[in-house]
Each structure stands twice: as C-alpha cells, then as structure tokens.
Chain A
Amino acid sequence: MTNLPPPSAKKLGLVIDLDTCVGCQACVTACKGWNDQGYGAPLSDQNPYGAAPSGTFLNRVHSYEVTPDEGAPQIINFPRSCLHCDNAPCVTVCPTGASYKRAEDGIVLVNESACIGCGLCAWACPYGARELDPAAGVMKKCTLCIDRIYNDTLPEEDRQPACVRTCPTGARHFGDLGNPESAVSQLVAQRGGYDLMPDMGTRPTNKYLPPRPKDARATASPLAPLLDLQATGFAGWLDRLLEKF
C-alpha cells in the first residue's frame, strides 16, 4: 500500500461551471487527442469501427435530466475526471506505489512503469475517474496535462490542461486551489463551489460550481397598454403613441 505525502500548499486542480457547461464534449476529445500522444501510453480504442466500440477516455461528460418539484425539467451536463483528492483512496490502495500524489502540487499520477494493471485503484476511486487501458495494460487517468502545464516548449498561455484550453464556453478553469487569492479560489468563493460526494472523505481538489436558479419569473412589471384599445380604436392608439414623438 502506498502512503500519501503531507498535504501540499499548492493544490492544482479544475473548477467546472455546471451553469455554463453545454455538454458539447469538446473537453472529452481534446483530452483524448492530447493524451493519446502525451504522458504515458496512448489511449487505445477497442473495436473502434465495430458493434461495441470502447476506448479509454480520461474525461467524460454525462448529461442528466432533473425534474424539480416546481418549474420545468432541467438538463445538467456533468464533466467527470480525476478530482486530484487530498485524501486519495486510489493512491493508498496501490500495491506497487505506481499510483502517487505529487508532493509539490497535489497532482495524482500513475507511474506506468510501476503499474501492474491490477485495477485496485479504479475500484477504490468513488468517482469512477480511472480507466484501465486494455492495449497498454496500465491504468490511465487525468494528469491535469502535467506535460502541458509545466512545458517550457509551449507559450505561457498554453500551459494549461487541454480541456481548459479548448472549452468553448469557458466552463473549465485551472489554477491553484490551495491559494485562497487565486482566480479559481475566488470563483469558488463567489459561486458557492462545492466538493463532489464530500461524505466519502476524499477531500477533492477539483470543485464544481452549481447551476444558477433556472426558470425564475422575470422581474419586469407587466406591460401597461397605452390606453384602452377597444374604447379608442386604432386612431386613438396611434395618436397616443405618436404624441410625444
């Protein structure tokens, strides 16, 4: 079993805005594309043109329908990937030390050369955020694009995860959630960002911003007719409309 390092001051992670996510899947394929050629083994696709295509993805988006007690049914698009937990059960369960949490920034990674593909970490993760790649036989998970965010061959502005860079609505934010002054921490504070399944005790770094209340009544007062149309007729209406013009 593998121990966690002492909690780091710097906690890199994502803030995902469920109010803005339109479920377009852009982050899903940008992640697939980057990580197919990035850190570790490629992300294979089994039976890609057959009856049951099944590929390895580090980030998936699910759409759910929610019917509130009052008001119209709603759609929640929910992107799902590793939350880089402070108290990561996927690390402590690892028999070889392949699964680890970085001491300097809190990113949870898999050292593929030490991974035996036993799958214990995927069982331990309550968020379903890990996928065993059948072609490579190793566990794959979100790396927070560790080969982008520190990559000094990339322009400064591109040193962010592929999913964040590509997100068309700007629903994904990357930063240091250990620093209360950071833009992401401020966003979490302003918008009531929350932990996923806090009762699991995993203390995830990633935060979700809740959808704003929907289908609320407009606050504008009802429009008052210029005058009683039936009584005055069209000519009266026209006179009243144009009198100040």
Chain B
Amino acid sequence: MIPKQPTPDLSPPVSDEVRKTTCYMCACRCGIDVHITSGKVTYIEGNRDHPVNKGVLCAKGASGIMQVTAPSRLRAPLRRVGPRGSGAFEEISWEEALGTAVQWLGPLRAKAPEKLAFFTGRDQSQSFTSLWAQSFGTPNYAAHGGFCSVNMAAAGIYTMGGAFWEFGQTDWDRTKLFLLFGVAEDHDSNPIKMGIGKLKARGGRMVAINPVRTGYNGVADDWIGITPGTDGLLVLALVHELLKAGKIDLDYLARYTNAPCLVDETEGEEKGLLLRDELGKPLVIDRTTGQPVPYDRPGLRPDLGATWKGCRTVFQHLAERYLTAEYAPEAVADRCGVSAERIRALAAEIADVAFNQTITIDQPWTDFRGETHAQMVGRPVSFHAMRGISAHSNGFQTARALHVLQILLGTVEVPGGFRFKPPYPKPAHAHPTPHSYFMPGRPLDGPHLGFPQGPEHLALKLDDLTPARIDKGFTWDNPLSAHGMMHMVISNAVAGDPYPIDTLMLYMANMAWNSSMNTAETMAMLTAKDGNGDYKIPRIIYSDAYASEMVAYADLILPDTTYLERHDCISLLDRPICEADHAADAIRWPVIEPDRDVRGFQSVLVDLANRLGLPGFITEDGRAKYRDYADYIVNHQRRPGVGPLMGYRGTGDAVGRGAPNPNQLNAYIAAGGFFTAEVPEEARFFKPWNRAYQDWAVKMGFYDQPQPYLFQLYCEPMRRFQLAAEGFHERQPPDHLRARILATMDPLPIWYPPFGDDAGDAFPLHAITQRPMAMYHSWGSQNAWLRQIHGHNPLYLPEKVWREQGFAEGDWARATSPSGSITAPVALMAALNENTVWTWNAIGKRKGTWALSDDAPEAIRGFLLNHLIDELLPDRGDGRRWSNSDPVTGQAAWFDLRVRVEKCAPPPETLPAFPPLKSPVPNAKGSRQ
C-alpha cells in the first residue's frame, strides 16, 4: 500500500522571540541565540554573528536549557543548622543572609581584613571580584588559575607577552602544520574545533603530543604518545636539532627578541643580568659600527654573535646550552617514550614547513625602529598547548621552552603562526606587580595579582618578611605565582600557616570535591575543630547556583542565578574573548527571570559593598555608587573613559575610550550581546613591534602609550631571584630554599624530572585526567542530557598493564599513590602511553549532591583521581609543609601523580565511598516530559 503522503507543517514558527546572550556552559563564552516561547527557554543555538563561535555550538552549549530546569538549583539563601558537612540547612531571607554576612565581615574589615579569604573558581568577573576584595582590604584574593593553568599563562606573559587561549591563537586560515601539546579539549573549545576543521579542509597537517589519544588527538595525522612530564625535554630536543642544522629565524631573533642583548658576565650582583644604558635600555652591538647601542635605535642591525668586554649575547648562551649532547634526541628518547628517529623526523617536518613553505601577505608595515617592511612574511607552523604540559612541577619551564621554540622558529605574530588577540600582547613588565599591603579599615594598596620583576615584588609582610597571603603566593616557595594558589588556601588556613583566618568566602569553586587535591582530607579540614570545639576555619560563605558538594561545607549560602538570568560582562579588563583580527567584548543579560529567590552573585557583592561602605563603591557623601552589577558594568571607570565594556561609550559612538553611556547595555542587547572592533589591516601581525598596532591599542585604551618590547628568550626577572639566592639582594630567601631557587629559576628554559617522580619504583605508572568535550568539570552532571553522555568514568589502562595482570572486561582495580588509594572499574585502551593510566575529569560525584539519586552512576561507578593527589609533597622530616606545586609559579602539580595498579575484587561501589550528603533541595522524580 502507498498511503496518501502526509503533509507536515514545514514552516512552524520556531519561537516567540530570540534573545542573544553569552553562553556559560564553560569558559569558551560563545554567543548564543536563546529562543523564548511563552516566556520559557525552548531552544538554544549558536549566534552566527558572534566572533567566538560564528554560529556553531558545542554539546554543552546546546544543553544549556537543562541547566535552567535542573532540580539541583538552589531556591533561596541557606543557613547551616546541623554540623558542617551534614548538609542540614534552613532557607532564610536575603535580608537575613546579607545581614549575617555584614555582621561577620564588618568587624573583620575594621580590625583584620586579612582574615577574610575570598577565592573564586570559575568566575568570569575577576576584574570585579578582585576590585571588591581590594576595596575590602584583604590581600587574600585570587581565582582558580593556580590550580588550572598558571604555568602556561605566566610562562607566556614572561616570555612573549601572552600565551594561548584568551591571549592568542593559531592563524587558522593560513597555518600548514599544527602541533598540539597536552590538550584533549580546552577552554577555547569551539575555536579550536573550527580551526582544526579549517586546517583539515585545506589539507594541513596536525601532530598531537599527548599520552592519551582522545579528543582532538583522535583526528591528528600523527600522534606521539609521550610520557607525562617530559614534554619540555622533547621540546628542547627539537630546539637542539633545529639549532644544530641552523634552522632558526636569525633575522627575527635579531630584530624582535632579546637574543642579541648582552649578558653581564662580571662577577657580582649584576652577573647574568642584561647590560643596559643609563636609561635602563638593554644594549646590543650594532653590526655596522661594532658599538653597543640601545636595542630600539633606528637603523640598528643587532649582532647575534657579538662579544663585548667579555660579555656575550643571549643567543650565544642559549645556543651553547641546547647544542650540548644532553638535549640530543638519543639522550631524551627513552625518558620521553619517543624514539630519536621520531624526534628527528618531527624537527625536520617543522623546519621544512617553517623555512621552505613560507607565506607572504602583501601588506606593508612599519616597525618600532621606524623601518618599513614591504610585506608580512610568515612561517606557517603553529602550536597550542595547555594543562597537560603545565600541570606539572616542571610546567613553567616546560611552557617557557615551548614559547622559546616558537620564537626561535620566528612563528609568533606572523602569518600562519601564532597570533595574539587584543589587548594582548602585553609583556610582564607592563602588567601590575603584586600588592599585599593591608591595614585595618583600609583598601589594599593595589591589585592583588601581578608579575614580579624581582624579589622586591614578593608578597611578604614588611615587618617580619613572612608571607602576606594565606596561600603563600608570591613567596620564595613560588615567586611568580601570578594567579595565586587557591589549592593551598584551606590547607594553610587550617594549619594556621602562615596565619589563621576567620572567614572563607568562595564563589563557584567546588573545593569539597573535584576542585581540591586530596579531597577526603579537604573535607576533614573543612570540618576540623580546635581544642575549644570551634571550627578551625570559623566561617564559610559560599555562592553557587546548584547543590554542589561544597554547599554542604559552608555556613551561609548565597544562591546564584543561572547564566540566563543574570547580567555579566566579558570584559577586556578581564579575560577577553577577542580574536586575532578584532577586539571583542560581550554581555550576559537576563533573557529570563529567575523563578525562585536567587540573585546574581556580582549584584550581591555590590549590595554587600554598599552595606559595608567599601571605598570605590561609595560616593564621598556615603551614597552607593552602583545599584547592582548592571549599573557597575555601565558606570565603573577603571581609568578615565575606560570601563568594563568598550562599545557604545560616550553618546553611543565612542569605542574603547569614552564617558559612561547609560544606554550601553541596551545597545549591546540590540547588537546581539557583543561588540567588536576590527584591528586595522596594517596592524594585524607583528603586533609587539608594529607601530600601527601600538597606535591602535593606545586609541582603544588598552594602554596609554605605545609599548613595543622584545621577546624574552632570556627571562631576566628569574635571574634576579637566582641572584638573591646567591646572596645579592637585600631580601634573602630562607636557606632551605636557596638551592631550589638556583636550580629552578633558570633564566633559560630547563627540564627537570617532575617532583612526583620521587615516588620511586613502587609507583611505576603515571595517572592523569582528560577533559571530556561534553562535560565541564562539575557543571554537567546535573544536566539531564549531558549525564547521559558521561555518567561514569572507568580507569583506562594500557595494554601492557592489562596483559601483565590478566585484566578482563568488567574488572576493577585499586590504584595506589604515595598518599592514598582508590578502587574503580577499569577499561582497556591501546591508544595510550604504555606507562600511563587515565580517566575523565570530574565525572564522579558524591552521593546526595546535584539532586541526583543516591544510586546515580556518578556516585556508584564514578570516581575522582583527586583522592590520590596530596596538596603537599611527602614529609621530609624537616617540619615544613612543602606544597605539591611548581616551584616557580605555585601551579598545582596534578599531573605529577604516580600510582601502582592492582586487580581487585569489585566492591559494591567505587572507593573511597562517603556517606550521602543531605540535599538542600528535593530530588527529582519520574521522567522529563
């Protein structure tokens, strides 16, 4: 039978209205079109006009609708009524909640502002939250960069004025060879996917260096399953091969880097610093005259091979170091788990593309010395790297090595290479230095975080030179901790080291679960009491939109809205969303109203600032400057005319600089939620040295005068710390750190074994996590769609381990590290470094949280590796608490983890198991629809 063909409605209206805002399902911050029907969100898709995602959207973004309807959403402010960690709360009014917070915080500010520690997790408003903390007067503020990827960011800033992701990107339209280090999925999620698509459509090649072939590594043309923690060694072996063959960009090095700068070799307090003229400008030898001149002299031809008064150039120091046999492919092959032949082949491929396949854009430009270049010549090799190489105790130097490799090839800020995104490039010396000077009742003396240039910028108390910050950021233990060290806050506060605190305030940071190392112990610390029966951390305030694990460990909960119900700004003052060809910023605005008694946390902070009378938030006659966060976004001025948003300033047509415009948010909404400003054609490459770019950046308000600079192959600030360790600074490191500072603060990149290797032969395997593309940390398990994609996480074992112990499908294993053990289901994976085990990040959940049933797979079969990772290094018997962090930046060394794995009988659920938390919200029942 052929029945009459039905005639379905082919043109149904999709929705009543489309409201355009910014996604918050991860930190990528794509533009989204939110379809609204009868006042409810009915569909979310990518915004085609948006600079970040150009219409596409990832699995998380398209599932945002399930964040709004999630049963785990908190409903009203909560006050703890049972013991901490029990989950017993009562709902209270906002007036009560805010009154309580003011009662706690007001006296602290008046007497001891440092006793408030305010740390934020996946905060996208750090320029605002940091200003709040600064106004409060506490030195104890940071976001989560310290356990995320500060090594990559700081190494990039110190070396070349920016790193990957929000700082810069591959020139996806032109690159021919793309090398990806340590990334399965990244914050820059959709742009990387779009870029890989473009690269492949053009027939370009992609080489992936990762112990695990998952995520992006799956589509790579070549996969190098490197041993964790050895990326720096591989990179320096590539440098060795390229130097030996002379395949480096000498012209680029001479013009744009400190390669020709002279290094002082006279013994004494200046040894190893760069020679400078009386104005402080580094000196180079001019090949025409043979005389030393400042590096920026017009007409200068810098000499890379010069020696002057016994002082040689940075280039000679660098070449001499990496030409030694120590970095030859044969010397590193076994350690890296990559054959010498393979390393040679990779070096050859890089050199071939960089030097035989150059590309040219016919666009004249003028450099900072006044020389005009007829064309923009590019070397189409590009790199991207992130957490995989940086979350090690050698991560800073590894990231430095990678940046140095890019610079030696001349692939930074050239067509086909790596390109900065405005307002970057911005070198370390143009950033603030850290500020930590606190006084009762007074604001802090400046921004908390910054980039020290030497020991004089450490955050030490002026009187006794002990750490000023609770996390010991910017101390001799980790001098360049540019993002703070959130992972040490709870541990240090409970130990009273360097001092006890009174109130811990956290935002969007699941410290009682997946955002802490040593999770079980962290839960114990959060509930630890002193001899009087008082909590060692007396008060904990937490803001989150969902019933996360951390909620149960706080005393006062300030419930946040979802991202569709709030104002936000994705600001150039903060972590921008620019692309290489344009500056961009964006907003969120309430596309729906919350159906419950919750408030955007930033507006709550404005309210608290007003009640506490914080300077900066109050006018001279004591009135509130800002009604709420939306009001702040429009009217706050960081410098005259420069505010959180660059678009529609003044009377609506000013860009970058201009008076506050009361209609600014409406203008953003009308324009699709974002604003872009094109980088002029002449300014699109060679930005650190390009006059047209420098002038445009000043016009835009990124900085107030042109600031061209040289890339820092040789990182002079690091040498200043070494000098101090040698005895040449009025601030002296404690004796127990001298040797470590000398060894790790080398101004040229080095490789040393990750501290985790000290675990020894009893722990033969590396254990790491990978980020799944369809789940973002803890934000996803409450999502009905995403948890069907990643509901639990096996421990993946390599073939060697699988075979040796006779594992079979369905088996479980116990993984033991020097500090703990877990028991979990295992699975076989062949595309895996033979000495590595891994699992997906943050899938496991604690029973009773996220409004999941107690038998949810996340709680029964899911697990965290965190239990195996101590926040401290093993006790050395010296009475000191050595942080498990990179000694340069303090980045949490998650991926240093070493384990052994043994087959065991399956327990009823993954171990360690914890009792269910009492949920502050009712669990869902039945099906959806």
Contacts and interface: CB of A to CB of B under 8 A. Distances in A.
Given A22-B773, A73-B830, A162-B45, A168 B929 contact: no
A65 B831 contact: yes
A1 B59 CA distance: 38
A223 B10 contact: no
A223 B244 CA distance: 9
A151 B785 contact: no
Contacts of B220: 214
Contact of B928 (A45, A217, A240): A45
Contacts of B352: 218, 220-221
Given A72-B213, A245-B251, A29 B218 contact: no
Contacts of B786: 29
A245 B784 CA distance: 62
Find the residue from B59, B63, B190 having the highest chain A CB count within 10 A. Answer: B59
A167 interface: yes
A63 interface: yes
A25 B167 CA distance: 27
Most B CB within 10 A of own CB, among A24, A57, A234: A24
A168 B924 CA distance: 33
A206 B44 CA distance: 26
Contacts of A223: 241-242, 244-245, 247, 344, 347-348, 351
Contact of B246 (A212, A220, A240): A240
Contacts of B185: 24
Given A28-B59, A29-B785, A171-B197, A154 B6 contact: no
B27 to A, nearest CB: 16
A219 B6 CA distance: 57
B218 A220 contact: no
Interface stretch (A97-105, A117-125, A178-186, A197-205): A97-105
A74 B348 contact: no
Nearest to A166: B57
A126 interface: no
B32 to A, nearest CB: 11
Contact of B45 (A30, A44, A53): A30
A26 B53 CA distance: 13
B92 interface: no
A67 B305 contact: no
A53 B926 CA distance: 10
A212 B929 CA distance: 42
Contacts of A216: 221-222
B785 A55 contact: yes
Contacts, number: 288
A217 B928 CA distance: 51
Interface in A191-245: 211-212, 214-226, 229, 234, 237-242, 245
A47 B852 CA distance: 10
B250 A245 contact: yes
Contact of B348 (A30, A166, A170, A218): A218
Nearest to A56: B929
A175 interface: no
A21 B246 CA distance: 38
Interface in A1-55: 1-3, 5, 19-26, 28-30, 32-34, 37-39, 42-55
Interface string B425-453: 00000000000000000000000000000
B474 interface: no
Interface stretch (B316-324, B685-693, B746-754): B316-324
A25 B11 contact: no
A147 B924 CA distance: 32
Interface string B166-209: 00000000000000000001000110011011101100000000
A222 B246 contact: no
Given A3-B1, A23-B773, A37-B43, A75 B214 contact: yes
Contact of B197 (A20, A37, A44, A240): A20
A73 B59 contact: no
Nearest to B54: A168
B833 to A, nearest CB: 11
A111 B254 CA distance: 71
Nearest to A143: B8
B570 interface: no
B244 A166 contact: no
A22 to B, nearest CB: 5
Nearest to B851: A49
Interface string A155-180: 00110001001111111000000000
A218 B2 contact: no
The listed residue with most A CB atoms (<10 A of its CB), out of B8, B196, B217, is: B8
Contacts of B12: 38, 147, 151, 153
Contacts of A43: 929
A211 B220 CA distance: 10
A19 B785 contact: no
Contact of A214 (B2, B6, B222, B316): B222
B232 to A, nearest CB: 21
A139 interface: no
A53 B12 CA distance: 31
Given A5-B2, A168-B58, A224 B245 contact: yes
B225 to A, nearest CB: 7
A234 B323 contact: yes
A70 interface: no
Contacts of B222: 214-216, 218
Most chain B CB within 10 A, of A48, A216, A221, is at A48
B304 interface: yes
Contact of A45 (B9, B14, B56, B785): B785
A109 to B, nearest CB: 7
Given A20-B219, A51-B856, A166-B62, A147 B1 contact: no
Contacts of A102: 5
Interface string B24-66: 0000000000000100001111101000010111111111010
Interface stretch (B656-664, B668-676, B787-795): B787-795
A116 interface: no
B215 interface: yes
Contacts of B791: 53
A135 interface: yes
A229 B325 CA distance: 10
Given A30-B62, A237-B323, A245-B250, A22 B193 contact: yes
B927 A37 contact: no
Contacts of B219: 19-22, 75, 77, 169, 211
Given A19-B200, A25-B789, A37-B42, A169 B193 contact: yes
A133 to B, nearest CB: 9
Contacts of A127: none
A224 B247 CA distance: 10
B2 A2 contact: yes
A167 B213 contact: no
Contacts of A111: 6
A14 to B, nearest CB: 16
Contacts of B10: 146-147, 150-151
A26 B32 CA distance: 14
B346 interface: yes
A168 B830 CA distance: 27
A58 B14 CA distance: 19
A170 B197 contact: yes
Nearest to A135: B929
B879 interface: no
A176 to B, nearest CB: 17
B244 A29 contact: no
The 10 closest A-B pairs by CB, nearest first: A75-B218, A168-B193, A220-B352, A48-B784, A97-B3, A169-B197, A223-B245, A25-B59, A73-B831, A218-B349
12 contacts: A20-B200, A29-B63, A33-B65, A48-B928, A65-B830, A74-B213, A75-B214, A152-B11, A153-B14, A168-B190, A170-B194, A218-B352
Given A42-B929, A75-B217, A234-B319, 13 more contacts: A19-B200, A20-B219, A24-B773, A29-B774, A32-B63, A37-B37, A49-B787, A74-B831, A102-B5, A162-B45, A170-B201, A211-B219, A238-B316
